[in-house]
Amino acid sequence: MPDFSDRLPSAGRPALILASSSPYRRELLERLRIPFDVAVPAIDETPLPGETPEATALRLAEAKARAVAATLPANAGRTLVIGSDQVATFDGKQIGKPGTHERALAQLQAMRGREVLFHSALCLFDSASAEAQSVDVVTHVRFRRLPDATLDAYLRAETPYDVAGSAKSEGLGIALLEAIQSDDPTALIGLPLIALTRMLLAAGYPLLEAA
């Protein structure tokens, strides 16, 4: 967790922090051309018993934002903290990050020719008001029917072992997908920018002026 003790209130706009360890979310936020810090929240991401995928994603997104906000010093000024979490579901079960080649191959084998739902939850927490804006953006992804050898070759080429669903749609993994349906094109990568910009504008953040 970064040390925010030297943070001073910014003139004209609140400070912005991305509460995430994900390099993908950081790269997406950089598209907005606004200054931000990154902090890794220390929370337990285990789903609760009986919790729906949407509820898990929303709870963890807000928990990440609040955990980072709780570390801010008293003189930090108004700070907006972005929390995000993604849960993939297939056949009613949550799909985690595979972690290994073997588990990733098993995921892709099970999902070929099938539809997977990705719940990309987003939270914007305002340290001044202690209010949180939250939303769950759902993306429907249909995987192509591909042979084991093709799936294995893809995994060895891109090694997507740190993403739920075992395929990076922003990279070579797009070749594994038959269709993507979503109201927010960056949600599948991990950070719904349409929803985020809407939240920032609602919070009074001078988005285009800052850029």
Determine the distance from the C-alpha atom of residue 2 to the mean position of all C-alpha atoms in its chain, rounded to a whole number: 20
Active-site residue identified among 37, 85, 91, 148: 85
Q: Is residue 84 part of a domain?
A: yes
Residue 137 falls within a domain, yes or no? yes
pLDDT tens per residue, range 170-202: 999 999 999 999 999 999 999 999 999 999 999
197 is a domain residue = yes
| Number of independent structural domains in the chain | 1
Whether 152 is catalytic is no
Quote the domain boundaries for residue 81. Answer: 15-210
In-domain check, residue 8: no
Query: For the chain, what is the HEC assignment?
Result: CCCCCCCCCCCCCCEEEEECCCHHHHHHHHCCCCCCEEECCCCCCCCCCCCCHHHHHHHHHHHHHHHHHCCCCCCCCCEEEEEEEEEEEECCEEECCCCCHHHHHHHHHHHCCCEEEEEEEEEEEECCCCEEEEEEEEEEEEECCCCHHHHHHHHHHHCCCCCCCCCCCCCHHHHHEEEEECCCCCCCCCCCHHHHHHHHHHCCCCHHHHC
The pLDDT of residue 122 is 98
What's the chain's average pLDDT? 91
Point out the least confidently predicted range of 3-17, 44-58, 95-109: 3-17
* CA dist., res. 172 & res. 70, Å (int): 39
pLDDT band of 142, cuts 50, 70, 90? very high
Q: For residue 65, what is the domain's CATH number?
A: 3.90.950.10
2 lies in some domain:
no
Q: Band of the pLDDT at 168, cuts 50, 70, 90? A: very high
pLDDT of residue 173: 96
Per-residue pLDDT, 58:
96
pLDDT at 11: 52
Flag whether 10 is in a domain. no
Adjacent-strand bridge partners of 140:
117, 181
Assess if residue 98 is contained within a domain: yes
Whether residue 50 lies inside any domain: the answer is yes
